Structure 1
Amino acid sequence: MTTKTAILDAFGTVVRIGSRTNPYRHLLREGIKQGRRPHSRDAHVIMTQNLELHELAEHLGIRLSEPRRVEIESALQAELNSIEAYPDAIEAVAMLRERGVALGICSNLAKPYGAAVKRLFPSMDAYAFSFEVGAAKPDPRIYQALLEMVDATRGSSAGAASEVWMVGDSARCDRDGARAVGIEGHYLDRSGASSIQDLVQFADFVLE
């Protein structure tokens, strides 16, 4: 029997930030004050380097005084502490788990946020985080890393794809990027502008 696999995005899909403090924006602003010009790939670097915030600052060539480092890291911790699970995500994961569906979370995020996701959803079969994989959605490598972790690539790629679903709040990353590698990707829009408006609806679809 082929195992079904459901892949979920993290932020905006299964978890949300209750109180935004934007610590990485503050870090980049420190760089600007020091004459460092913002780069279009800064966000990509933040999400694909397996580095703590102070290590990332050094990697980017941004100097942080001890008081400023403590201030930004405190803001980061406050944001991490505010992260909470969507109620429909808890329900959907329980539904899928009960029916034996393999579950994974695939997300673009900076290193400190990974632990928060695992804290709220500790029993997933696999986690593919951009900072660990070194690639960010919609790069095919991050989806493939997740699939390999849950052993969903057994047999032909076409056969595996027919049993793998993904959902998230980015049409580009979670629907189109997933479909580009043969996963049945779906766009989650909680405002009602998409066919998938909550994760229980997605779970019902996977279990049909």
Structure 2
Amino acid sequence: MLRISARKQPYLQLMKLAREHGRKPLPDDARVLMTQELGLFAAAEWLGLHAALPALAGLEQDLLSELSSVQLFPDSVPAIQMLQEAGIRVAVCSNLAAPYAIPVRLLLPNLDAYCWSFTAGAIKPEPDIYQQVAQQLDCPLSSLAMIGDTLEADCLGPRRCGMQGFHLSRDGSPTPDTFTDLTSFARFVLGSA
């Protein structure tokens, strides 16, 4: 639904900075940053970067630049409108660090549910995050259809939990499990309802 047009990757830069300051990376560092409600400075503190304030100011600028560059794909709103006008509830389920929820909410203010990894305490493809979407929508997992651009997190993980999962490959070719745009997916859902 959304894309970042000016990628700066401040959280990745933050983890590199921690490594440069002697912190040995842990396998779940990225997961922790996405499952805790941590802004950039709180994430830096969690990583033990107490003495790196000048570098953090630059990363904060990168974060603001990246957040202001978040845009909707042109097919996002028409697909959402098609579904909602037909009475189908629409949710966003996303792995992201806390600051990224702000532009998503501003660009998509009328969704029926918002499930963020930092509030769920889980990341896709972990079953708990999909369970939380189902709880927010007050429906069983088996009645949910999910689409996203990450095959494991948005297609295969949901399927293992009993959901319908589909892959969004904007530059690929359509298959029964892959769509190249959201309006085609919306038409498919409406035809299945």
Task: For structure 2, list consecutive stretches of 5 or more residues without a partner in the other structure.
Answer: none
Share of identical aligned residues, percent?
40
The root-mean-square deviation of aligned C-alpha atoms, in Å, is 1.2
Local SS of the residue matching 1:203: helix
Return structure 1 stretches of 4+ with deviation > 4 angstroms. none
**Equivalent residue number for residue 11 of structure 1:** none
Shift of 1:122: 0.7
Q: When the two structures are aligned, how many residues end up with a matched partner? A: 188
The answer as to whether partners of 1:31 and 1:63 remain within 8 angstroms in 2 is: no
Q: In the TM superposition, what is the alpha-carbon distance from 1:64 to its structure 2 partner?
A: 4.6
Contact between 2:125 and 2:157, CA under 8 Å: does it hold in 1? yes
User: Distance between the aligned counterparts of 2:48 and 2:6, measured in 1?
Assistant: 28
Instruction: State the partner residue of 1:165.
Output: 145
Q: Calculate the TM-score normalised by the size of structure 2.
A: 0.93
TM-score, structure 1 as length reference: 0.87
- Are the equivalent residues in 1 in contact too, given 2:125–2:153 (CA < 8 A)? yes
Cα distance in 1 for partners of 2:51, 2:134 equals: 39
**SS of aligned partner of 2:84:** helix
Q: Using the alignment, how far apart are the partners of 1:128 and 1:178 within structure 2?
A: 14
Would you say the 8 A contact 1:104–1:126 is kept in 2? yes
Distance (whole Å) between structure 2 residues aligned to residue 70 and residue 180 of structure 1? 42
Q: CA separation in 2, counterparts of 1:33 and 1:201?
A: 46
In the alignment, is residue 94 of structure 1 matched against residue 94 of structure 2? no
Alignment of 1:205 with 2:188, yes or no, is yes
> What's the CA shift for 1:50?
1.0
- Indicate if the aligned counterparts of 1:92 and 1:199 stay in contact, CA closer than 8 A: yes
| Native 8 Å contact 2:23 2:47 kept in 1 | no
Do the aligned partners of 1:47 and 1:136 also contact (CA within 8 Å) in 2?
Answer: yes
Q: Map 1:166-185 to 2 at 5 A.
A: 166-185=146-165
Aligned partner (choices 9, 23, 26) of residue 10 of structure 2: 23
Residue 157 (structure 1) aligns with? none
Of structures 1 and 2, the one scoring higher in RCO (CA 8 A, sep 6+) is 1
The amino acid of 2:168's aligned partner reads L
Q: Deviations over 1:152-208 (max 9, x none)?
A: 13xxxxxx61x3211001111111111111111111111123421110010001000
The answer (yes or no) to whether the contact 1:176–1:185 under 8 Å persists in 2 is yes
SS at match of 2:187: helix
Query: Could you tell me how far apart the structure 2 residues matched to 1:136 and 1:25 are?
Result: 17
- Report what 1:4 is aligned to: none
Question: 1:187 and 2:141 equivalent?
Answer: no
Q: Write out aligned runs for 1:1-208 (5 A).
A: 14-153=1-140, 161=142, 163-195=143-175, 196-208=179-191
Cα pair distance change 1:54/1:84, threshold 3 Å: same
Structure 1: runs of 5 or more not aligned: 1-13, 154-159
Q: SS in structure 2 opposite 1:127?
A: strand
Deviation of 1:132 after TM superposition, in Å, equals 0.7
Is this contact kept in 2: 1:47–1:130, CA < 8 A? yes
